[in-house]
Amino acid sequence: MSTVTLKRTQRIHPKKFALWLGIGTVIMMFAGLTSAFIVRRAAGNWVEFELPPLFYFSTLVIGLSSIALFFAEKAYKANRHLQYRNLLGLTLVGGITFIILQYAAWMQLASYGILLRGNPSGSFVYVISGLHAAHVLGGVVLLGFFFVRAIPKPDPVQELLSEINPERSLGIEMLSVYWHFVGILWLYLLLFFTYYK
């Protein structure tokens, strides 16, 4: 039995693998949307406009939150639990700020006269960034869940057991993969919108 166990450790954990596949499906969805954007743009009757500057701020915020989560994961692995909790909280705040900034950016865009209804060039920006924000929101909910779990338990034995729980270590690794992914996805979308106005 021990040989079986050893052999399996060399493979990627199935749940983590499933997460990567799930990321693949999200990539396919946004690839579908952005290629629809390109196809539609090539057909003409396309209104060009400047992106709202708040999009650049939100990019900065989600980038910083990714860095915070990177160090949070390191802190967890090094058993620095207080530091882990603080950095996780910072990531969570970053995620919430990102969504608020995206909303503010849509308001900014609307103030330019580019509305959800109207020429598809604007509709695409709203729908694609909106779907991205929905994926960020999913990440924020998970971050909140992990943050609540990181609050120390009154019973020290229970606390120790939960700290060394391999399931949680796996969860943090997966959360961090997902969070970096939604950050990179946003960077791609921003570059895409900037390039194909």
* Positions that interact with another protein (CB under 8 A): 1, 4-15, 17-18, 21-22, 24-26, 28-33, 36, 39-40, 43, 45-47, 77, 116-121, 123-124, 127, 131, 166-167, 169-170
> What's the closest the beta carbon of residue 20 comes to another protein, in angstroms?
9
Instruction: Name which of 19 and 61 has its Cβ closer to another protein.
Output: 19
CB 61 within 8 A of CB 49: no
Instruction: Name which of 151 and 167 has its Cβ closer to another protein.
Output: 167
What the block records as the tokens of 72 is 């949070």
- CA dihedral of residues 115, 138, 53, 70 (deg, nearest 10): -170
Instruction: Name which of 89 and 120 has its Cβ closer to another protein.
Output: 120
CA–centroid distance for 23 within its chain: 11
Instruction: Name which of 30 and 70 has its Cβ closer to another protein.
Output: 30
Residue 41 neighbours by CB distance under 10 Å: 16
> What's the closest the beta carbon of residue 113 comes to another protein, in angstroms?
12
What's the one-letter identity of residue 108? Q
> What's the closest the beta carbon of residue 89 comes to another protein, in angstroms?
24
> What's the closest the beta carbon of residue 24 comes to another protein, in angstroms?
6
Instruction: Name which of 167 and 195 has its Cβ closer to another protein.
Output: 167
Instruction: Name which of 29 and 60 has its Cβ closer to another protein.
Output: 29
> What's the closest the beta carbon of residue 65 comes to another protein, in angstroms?
24
Eight-state DSSP code of residue 13: P
What's the one-letter identity of residue 129? S
Query: Under 8 Å CB-to-CB from 61, ≥6 apart: which residues?
Result: 94, 97, 98, 101
> What's the closest the beta carbon of residue 85 comes to another protein, in angstroms?
20
List C-alpha distances in Å: 11 to 14, 16, 23.
8, 11, 19
From the list 142, 161, 140, 159, the residue with the least C-alpha distance to 151 is 159
